[in-house]
């Protein structure tokens, strides 16, 4: 599988309302951190994330997190 494109070397921190979101795993979306379909033909697919309650989320911006859509500091090693 190809390496993802790093959208930014820091998390995208956002207040989120309950709902279903599709996190961009390949880094090509113009609407980071969410999928806009730019991954088509790349081997990447969005990651579905269910948020049950309002909360602040640190979405992975570097696309190298070992925890998928959640930032775990992987950007510090890039």
Tell me: the pLDDT tens digits for 34-60?
999 999 999 999 999 999 999 999 999
- pLDDT for the residue numbered 49: 98
- pLDDT for the residue numbered 54: 98
Q: Which domain holds residue 44?
A: 12-77
pLDDT tens by residue, 12-22: 999 999 999 99
- What are the structure tokens assigned to 51, written together? 């948020």
Percent of the chain with pLDDT over 90: 91
Q: Is residue 47 part of a domain?
A: yes
SS3 state at 37: coil
Q: Is residue 5 part of a domain?
A: no
Sequence-separated (6 or more) residues with CB below 8 Å from residue 14: 33, 56, 57, 59
Predicted model pTM: 0.91
Chain-centroid distance, C-alpha 54: 18
Structural domains counted in the chain: 1
Q: Is residue 6 part of a domain?
A: no
- What are the structure tokens assigned to 78, written together? 């890039």
Q: Is residue 58 part of a domain?
A: yes
């Amino acid at each position: 599988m190809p390496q993802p494109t790093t959208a930014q070397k820091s998390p995208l921190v956002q207040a989120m309302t309950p709902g279903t979101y599709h996190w961009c795993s390949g880094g090509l979306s113009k609407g980071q951190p969410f999928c806009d379909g730019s991954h088509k033909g790349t081997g990447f697919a969005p990651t579905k994330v269910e948020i049950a309650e309002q909360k602040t989320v640190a979405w992975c911006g570097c696309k190298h997190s070992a925890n998928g859509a959640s930032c775990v500091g992987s950007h510090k090693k890039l």
